Amino acid sequence: MRVALLVTEYSNNRAMMQASLVKIHSLIRRRYEEAVMERVALAALGRQVSRVALGTWSMGGWMWGGADERSARATIERALEMGIDVIDTAPVYGFGLSERLVGEVLESLGVRERVVIATKCGLVWDERQEPWRDSSPESIRREVVASLERLKTSWIDLYQVHWPDESTPIEETAAAIQELVDEGLVRAVAVCNYTAEQVDRFARACRLDAVQLRLNLFERANLPVFEHAHERGMLTMAYSPLARGLLTGSMRPDVEPSDAARRAPMYHGELYRRHLAAVEQLDAWAREQHGRRVTHLAARWLLDQPSVSMILWGARKPEHLDAIDGVWGFALEEDDFERIDAILDEALG
């Protein structure tokens, strides 16, 4: 009798788990269909994709003080529920961890076909987890095989060279990537952190579909490269849109960041306090003018740049994605851009 009861209980629990999984699948599919977020064409894939991509650097833990795998998985699931269908990752993010988490979640939910995986090559590491740049053809071949295994997929939608490698001619790197495209392992190609001249060199040797660089309200040096790539019909992706948390409005002047990801001068000392003062002024103006917060304003400043196609929204916890809904439903006009610049000029000099 006891054995029969245990079998019955097991069967009931299994049925409940299967029903929950079906419910999750249904929810994700419905959110894909009903998502209100803006979309942009990724021409090389022949599809429209969300203008916000999920960034997975921080959830890998490297330079961010460690990882929480349970929270990371929940964050990926939450992004999918919101209608985000581009996930940006890289082998070096957690030294394989971020890619593995992405692959496991997409496989468990059965939504691989619906999601654009954008991963990278060109940063490798040793047994001490010390990374260095290597964009040689031999290294790229090893990296793509490892990434495909971790991501549990037979193809990569968007393959990106992470950083320029001075020891390898750009033409050799581009030719190696083109081979992967020809073999069907890679469907679209991008470069990250390249100058305009490097972008052109790469594009002469391999079809180049996208570029990714750092860009936000405080760090604008790469804007000319965005414009250069946009003029050539490439998708443009902005990483660090919230300046690694500085533009969220949640950081305090008496608590400076201690993680390795935020070692730049603007996260410390007097410069840090001046940037936070600017954030406070921007937040007040955003609330008064648009009924939004500084996070929404910072994202909108990027999305309303003619040369910016997409922003990468980094997150470690599901709640880090909550502000995305407030990015939609308003736009910045020329007067808004001028007022933002005036606030920054006054606060930062």
DSSP-derived secondary structure for 13-34: HHHHHHHHHHHHHHHHHHHHHH
Q: Which helix (H) or strand (E) holds 119?
A: strand 116-121
Q: Which amino acid is at 219?
A: E
Closest alpha carbon to 292 in 280, 283, 304, 301:
283
d(CA 54, CA 68): 17
Q: Residue 250: which residues within 8 A CB-CB, separation 6 or more? A: none
Closest alpha carbon to 154 in 196, 124, 185, 126:
185
292 C-beta neighbours (distance < 10 Å), count? 20
5 C-beta neighbours (distance < 10 Å), count? 9
Contact 120, 162 (CB under 8 A): yes
Q: For the chain, where are the alpha helices, taking DSSP H only?
A: 2-34, 69-81, 97-109, 137-151, 170-182, 196-205, 223-231, 269-290, 294-303, 334-348
Residue 93 appears among annotated catalytic residues: yes
Secondary structure tally for the chain: helices H, strands E:
10, 12
Contact 121, 91 (CB under 8 A): yes
Alpha carbon 72 to its chain's center: 14
CA dihedral (316, 243, 84, 196) in degrees, to 10, reads -130
d(CA 99, CA 146): 10
From 32, 93, 267, 272, active-site residue: 93
Contact 79, 114 (CB under 8 A): no
Alpha carbon 54 to its chain's center: 4
Q: Which residues are known catalytic residues?
A: 93
